[in-house]
Amino acid sequence: MKHRFSNRLALQSPRCVACCLAILFGMMLLTTAPAEEPLAVPEAVLQAERQRIAAIELAKPTAVSVFVPGGAGGGSGVLISPDGYALTNFHVSSPAGVHMRCGLADGNVYDAVIVGIDPVGDLALIRLLGRDDFPAATLGDSDKLQPGDWCFVVGNPFLLASNLQPTVTWGIISGVRRYQYPSGTLLEYANCIQTDASINPGNSGGPIYDRDGKLIGIVGRASFEKRGRVNVGVGYAISINQAKNFIGYLRSGRIVDHATLGATVVTGPDGGAIVSNILESSDAFRRGLRYGDEILELAGQPILTANDFKNVLGTLPKNWRVPLVFRHLGETIETIVRLPGVHLEDELLEKMAGALPPPPPRPQPLAPPKNRKENRPTAISRSPGKPCQETKNHSRAVRAVRNLIACRQRSTHSTPRGGRTRIISPINSIKRKSGPPCRPVCRQSRLTNNGC
């Protein structure tokens, strides 16, 4: 068997050598062949790339990185006017209280203050201070968006913009006229925009632009993977057309509320928005709207389902007068109704207080010690029969300052043995009332580099 195997291997060896030589010769030919010319990129592709870069460069200066004082979080925003007005989310600005710090892509940080808030629609208007020539975004028309349109998001995800350079993510419009239910009656997202551009914690309050760099919405929500705060490609933005309805109220410094019709609507078995309940005190009831009527149009927008009704109504401020078209007993009625608010004023404030996180702690300025004379610590008082205590007017910070002053003003003299030094503190010379003496600030100890 070994003899036959060796003979067969000897017969196949020349063939193997020939195959190897052929492969090597082919590789040599490939390496020595002249290089082909680079593939030509179509001009349409190059033009789209140039347009995308130009749009991003136009939009980046208007993006705002929001930082809450005390390190209690932050988010994003967008400038909408040269005098410093910027839009962000209510849930981004609320932890900051009335002021915050905002950074721009130019590398500068500005103080900002709250101007107006919309807790129902999750919007807040802030104003950056210090300039009157801020770069401002151009407002687009979110009603013209269609699924598949290009868009991009600029913001501060995970507060990564420590160098104030925002993060840009590119995607498409995945859906329009989405409705996201509120938390109770706050943070309602009506007629919002859905996108697959990456949105993560920290992008909240930031801008979403169309392919031309026009502002079309304010990012606010995203769907995340259950096991972690990781984007799964479904994000939502408040439409800029909704923000336009509220900007005037927000500039006046108000806490604004959204509108209601005073009626609830369900989608009928054959389609259509059917009134399922209505308040007799509402203006719509006075205009003839009744249970079982079908709403055809609201504020000039066609209403085909209950979702359409909520999307239109959720973008309107309270007390607006809007046209209403409905069908009552087969008759089409056109009228104008005044929309009341979702909340009473006190009710809205109470719900806001319950929804807001506690404000971050603010550092208190260090108060100088009182009754200081010649840089000496203040007097110490004691009550008879009790250990020596400081007066109630002194805080822990004041005690620390006094101890430091006492240690620095110590006078020393050397002793002949052990290298020990007695540190005499000025506090030892303070007059006290009768009773056991207080413990001195610094007692006998070895001298170290750190002093007492």
Q: Which of 65, 91, 282, 343 is catalytic?
A: 91
Q: Which of 204, 239, 282, 425 is catalytic?
A: 204
The Cβ of residue 152 has, within 10 Å, a number of other Cβ atoms equal to 21
Is residue 343 among the annotated active site residues?
Answer: no
Entry field: residues in the chain: 452
Q: Token digits for 133?
A: 């020539």
Rg of the chain, C-alpha, whole Å: 36
Q: Which of 239, 234, 293 is nearest to 263 (CA)?
A: 293
Q: Which of 118, 122, 257, 283 is catalytic?
A: 122
| Residue located via tokens 């990129």 | 41
Dihedral sign for Cα 203, 204, 206, 211, please: positive
Is residue 381 among the annotated active site residues?
Answer: no
Q: Token digits for 330?
A: 């087969």
Specify the DSSP element, H or E, that contains 238. Answer: strand 231-239
Residue 159 CA, chain-centre distance (Å), reads: 9
Is residue 122 among the annotated active site residues?
Answer: yes
Q: Which residues pair with 178 in a beta bridge?
A: 192
The Cβ of residue 218 has, within 10 Å, a number of other Cβ atoms equal to 29
Please tell me the distance from the alpha carbon of residue 434 to that of residue 43, in angstroms, as a whole number: 96
Please tell me the distance from the alpha carbon of residue 85 to that of residue 87, in angstroms, as a whole number: 7
Q: Which residues are catalytic?
A: 91, 122, 204
